[in-house]
Amino acid sequence: MKAVAGGGNGANHPATSSKMLPTGEHKGCRASAVGGKASCGSYAGQGDLPSEVWEKVKNHPCYSEDAHHHYARMHVAVAPACNIQCNYCNRKYDCANESRPGVVSEKISPEQAARKVLAVAENIPQLTVVGIAGPGDALANPVKSFRTFDLIARTAPDIKLCLSTNGLALTDHIDAIVRCKVDHVTITINMIDPEIGAKIYPWIFFNHRRYTGTEASRILADRQLEGLEMLAERGVLCKVNSVMIPGVNDEHLVEVNKAVKSRGAFLHNIMPLISAPEHGTVFGLNGQRGPTAQELKALQDACEGEINMMRHCRQCRADAVGLLGQDRSSEFTAERLMTMELKYDLETRKAYQANVEHQRAAKAAAKQEELMELAGEMSDITLLVAVATKGSGLINQHFGHANEFQVYELSTSGTKFVGHRRVDLYCQAGYGEQDRLAPIIAAIGDCHAVFVAKIGGCPKNSLINAGIEPVDQYAHEFIETSMIAWFKAYLRRVQSGEIQHVTRMAMRDPAMTSVA
């Protein structure tokens, strides 16, 4: 690895090195729950977060893990052009059944986008955030992107605006970002070492010409880090996304993490490479694999410190609509929008969201109570459990209807959200098929239990045989409170000798456990 400690080549840039923030000045959204283990933006733990930052993240599903159970986001695909080429992207690809970044079904104009926001806000009152995430680069389409933000701000003033960029053009648009009150910006930074960058980016288009090789990556990394610093100085919350590419930048991302932390990034989101030959990407075609869920978690754990690691990212499409992990974009096609009568009812939305906040407070209080009881427990057992949920922080999904499971780590320090595992829908037309069950069991094979609202007899037995306890006694109750209650009982059962605690190992077959 040619990783350069302390910021790499970007740090040598005069504009970037002079303004480095001291490490840890930006504390991110670490919550102060028991043992410092709460995940990003835990409701109970505004803790060391300044109030103005808390106001920005508390109902942003991407910036707060807790908020993602309650609030929805949408992407408007107004930005098709891009100014760089990435080996994990294929611009020709477009499929409605694919859910991953860069994929959209239809591109829309700023005016259509503003209309779509109204329609979604009316139908999904949980909507709090609108982002521009491509399918190209938001800032390679500045006219369309900023016009979209202006239109939305006019008609839906309570909606938070965000954008996602590769950072190449970022420094040119800092003032516009601040003017439009875009207070969340995501920059995708995959490397700070141009030698590594050359394996990820074949070229960039900059200053009216194409650059290739390490020269391209040097320009890109310098401008990304400079843009990040400028935004942090202006008080814009920045999330850094990094695509984990095993054998290319996986070890190097620890250095990237340090570099972005020192420049004021608020949150770091290390995401798994999604790679398959049928996507037609360079990586897909040359057999580059993505990481396993366990490899991803190990890297996220290694990077966790003074900056929070985002673990609830669903790598959604550039036109996704709904709660994370859910996509309702097909309900809001341009054609359907034509026929919808639209009005923006701010009062109803406010009332709905006040109710959501009420529920969140109740959930946080219930969790605190359970945590207090857990505080007396002495045990070094740490284990993972999976949860089937449709949102609202509740165990409210049938095992067979889940297309993903949320995974939490439990210990006497409390609960910690560590990721999600996507699975194919097990229940098709009311019949669970045995051969669909095996991959699900593999996907959550490192978990001791799976919490569900309901589960059929047959999958129940298969899970038990695989050593995973199906738990349906907490149906429609709060996720974290239930997990703590179950964990306490688990410790009791171990102490009494009723059961023996065994460490569950991750399945090593990447095909079975890939998070993609």
Partner 1 sequence: MPFKIIASQCTGCSACEPICPNVAIVEKGGIFAIDPKKCTECIGYFDDPQCVEVCPVDDTCVIDVSLPRYKAPG
Q: For binding to partner 1 (CB under 8 A), which residues are involved?
A: 80-83, 85, 91-92, 107, 135-136, 140-141, 143, 205, 208-210
SS3 244: strand
Question: Letter for the amino acid at 417?
Answer: F
| Nearest CB to partner 1, comparing residues 140 and 383 | 140
Cβ 189 to partner 1, closest distance in Å?
20
For residue 414, give the 3-state DSSP assignment: strand
Could you give the CA distance from residue 101 to residue 316 in angstroms, rounded to a whole number? 5
3-state secondary structure of 409: strand
Comparing CB distances to partner 1, the nearer of 163 and 296 is 163
Question: Taking the complex as a whole, how short is the minimal distance between the CB of residue 249 and partner 1, in angstroms?
Answer: 22
* Smallest distance from partner 1 to CB 208, Å: 5
Least separation in angstroms between residue 114's CB and partner 1 is 19
Q: CB 334 → partner 1: shortest distance, Å?
A: 12
Q: Which residues of 377-411 are buried (b: 16+ CB within 10 A; e: fewer)?
A: eeeeeebbbbbbbbbbbbbbbbbbebebbbbbbbb
Residue among 136 and 290 whose Cβ is closer to partner 1: 136
Cβ proximity to partner 1: between 61 and 102 the closer is: 102
Shortest Å distance, C-beta 225 to partner 1: 24
Instruction: Report helix angle 253-262 to 213-233, nearest 10.
Output: 40
Q: Toward partner 1, which CB reaches closer, 143 or 502?
A: 143
Q: What does the alpha-carbon distance between residue 49 and residue 361 come to, in Å, rounded to a whole number?
A: 17
* Amino acid residing at 2: K
In the complex, what is the shortest distance from the CB of residue 203 to partner 1, in angstroms, rounded to a whole number? 9
Q: What DSSP designation does 391 have? A: B
Q: Closer CB to partner 1, residue 78 or residue 418?
A: 78
Whole-Å CA distances, 411 to 297, 328, 416, 472, 488 = 17, 36, 9, 21, 10
List phi, psi (to 5°) of 220.
-60, -50
- If the CB atoms of residues 80 and 305 are measured against partner 1, the closer one turns out to be 80
Tokens (6 digits) for 366: 């219930």
Q: Enumerate residues 6+ apart whose C-beta is below 8 A from 98.
A: 317
List the structure tokens of 301: 């754990």
DSSP E strand stretches across 245-327 = 267-272, 308-309, 321-323
